[in-house]
Amino acid sequence: MYLSIALLILVNLVSLVSPVAIPNKRPTPKIDYDTIIIGGGPAGLAALSGLARVRRKALLIDSGEYRNGLTRNMHDVLGHDGVTPADFRHKARGQITTYKTVSFTNGTVTKITPGRSPVSPDTSSFTVTADLNTASGPISKQLTTRKVILATGLIDLVPSTPGLAENWVKGIYWCPWCDGHEHADQPMGLLCDLNDAVGAFREIITLNSDVIAYVNGTDTPEYRALNDAEFPGWEKYLAEHNVKIENRTIVSIKRVKDGSEGGHDPSLPSTAEFDLFDIELANKTDGNDVREIHQRGVFFTSFPSKQRSCLGEETGVYMYSPGRLGVDQNMRTNIDGIYAAGDANSDNSTNVPHAMYSGKRAAVFLHQELSQEDSVWEVKRLLGSKFVKKGTRFQKLDPRLIWRMMNGRSREDDILHAGDFDP
């Protein structure tokens, strides 16, 4: 009887108590995105697609500037051989839009400010400042994110010789894999220094047999000595393949015929393009300026390039020569939480398929890093003071973590401080 009365009292007491909400496993962080991707070319799009597939909340900010933006057609991209770069991006965006956790916006990122996560101070977060293009006009906005992927690309440094910039990627190219097949068996010119002539020719040796290397005044004893040291017999090798060396200065390049006339057959991955250029060469003989005109159908170059954006360097990303964002095999930079993909990074493979691969690889390892951070936080919450003993398999040998542990509490001006992590 006493037990029945006690149970009755307990039931009535429980009915007077308001329901208590069960706390989430993890408090909602005051961060806008899991990841912000900067750059809307193949690398950035591939990264966004990868993150969409695992339902990460990600934003891609696209400045609308692309290294291959002026290229007539993309090639050597399986399933997309022969399409225009704009068509490729349009189709990619359309497919990615079907995934609801990711989004796009047009604009330019002006600053990345590293910080620490408000949920877990041991992990990274960033404030991204951007000028965004909206329907009501441009606005400046600050967004927060746990990780950043830099897919900002490169700019080719085209010399000021008249006709070069005007015809860039329309008969004058830097990538024979991307554009060589369309100009096979046509008179070709190589625009390069003398010490690059052998390497440039070997890349196109199966495409053309009528080749002139325009070395623009670099056929000097110094450059010849470099060639002799790097490739003994280089001159006989080029002569054997009928490659002529032209040392006179190029005054101008003028288009005679547009290879895109007639249009590209969209049913074919590759259609021949018959461009034609006049090359005006300067030559001084007996004090008189004598100029000669050559004709070539296509040019391949070895011009340098630079980062399109200075965001990485300004944020402290280590730069590898020649001006590339340093990454490890998983596309992580030396800055905890920042990844770099595509032409801008230091893996030195600059083509669309590889840009897509590096974007996807960055997405995969970034997702794993986020999951690892979340699992550590959750186990720490569950175990409290009993959190993961040293030496257990739960702890991952993350090189950044080891670096921070070895640095300990030493300050930057401390002789024992080893500096920032450098992959």
Dist. CA 126–CA 148, nearest whole Å: 8
* Burial grade of 176 (CB within 10 A; 0-12, 13-18, 19 or more): buried
Dist. CA 151–CA 108, nearest whole Å: 13
How much is the pLDDT for 6? 45
> How does pLDDT run across 403-414, given as a tens digit for each residue?
555 555 555 666
Q: Quickly list H helices, 294-408.
A: 311-315, 352-383, 399-407
Bridge partners of residue 398, in order along the sequence: none
Dist. CA 139–CA 337, nearest whole Å: 26
What value does the mean pLDDT take over residues 97-103? 97
> How does pLDDT run across 267-311, given as a tens digit for each residue?
788 889 999 999 999 876 555 566 789 999 999 999 999 999 999
How much is the pLDDT for 402? 53
- Residue matched to tokens 């991209």: 77
Q: Which of the pair, 335 or 406, is modelled with greater confidence? A: 335
Dist. CA 386–CA 380, nearest whole Å: 8
Closest of 64, 140, 62 to residue 102, by C-alpha: 62
> How does pLDDT run across 162-175, given as a tens digit for each residue?
999 999 999 999 99
Portion of the chain with pLDDT greater than 70, in percent = 81
As given in the structure block, the two tokens for residue 216 are 């623009």
> How does pLDDT run across 211-246, given as a tens digit for each residue?
999 999 999 999 999 999 999 999 999 999 999 999
Closest of 241, 213, 217 to residue 299, by C-alpha: 213
How much is the pLDDT for 137? 85
Indicate the range of 184-193, 235-244, 388-397 predicted with least confidence.
388-397
Q: Which of the pair, 49 or 378, is modelled with greater confidence? A: 49
How much is the pLDDT for 288? 57
Measured between alpha carbons, how far is residue 302 from residues 159, 268, 323, 325, 345 in Å? Answer: 11, 29, 16, 20, 19
> How does pLDDT run across 352-389, given as a tens digit for each residue?
999 999 999 999 999 999 999 888 888 877 877 555 54
As given in the structure block, the two tokens for residue 164 are 């070069």
Closest of 305, 270, 87, 278 to residue 180, by C-alpha: 270
How much is the pLDDT for 9? 42
Closest of 88, 66, 69, 67 to residue 77, by C-alpha: 88
Q: Over the range 216-225, which residues count as b (16 or more CB within 10 Å of their CB) and which as e?
A: bebbeeebee
What value does the mean pLDDT take over residues 33-42? 97
How much is the pLDDT for 379? 81
Confidence of residue 195 (pLDDT cuts 50, 70, 90): very high
Cβ contact 295:306 at 8 Å: no
Report, in this order, helix, strand and coil percent for the chain, each rounded to 5: 30, 25, 45
pTM reported for the whole predicted model = 0.83
> How does pLDDT run across 104-146, given as a tens digit for each residue?
999 999 999 999 877 677 788 999 999 999 888 889 999 999 9
Mean residue pLDDT of the chain comes to 86
Portion of the chain with pLDDT greater than 90, in percent = 69
What value does the mean pLDDT take over residues 85-112? 96
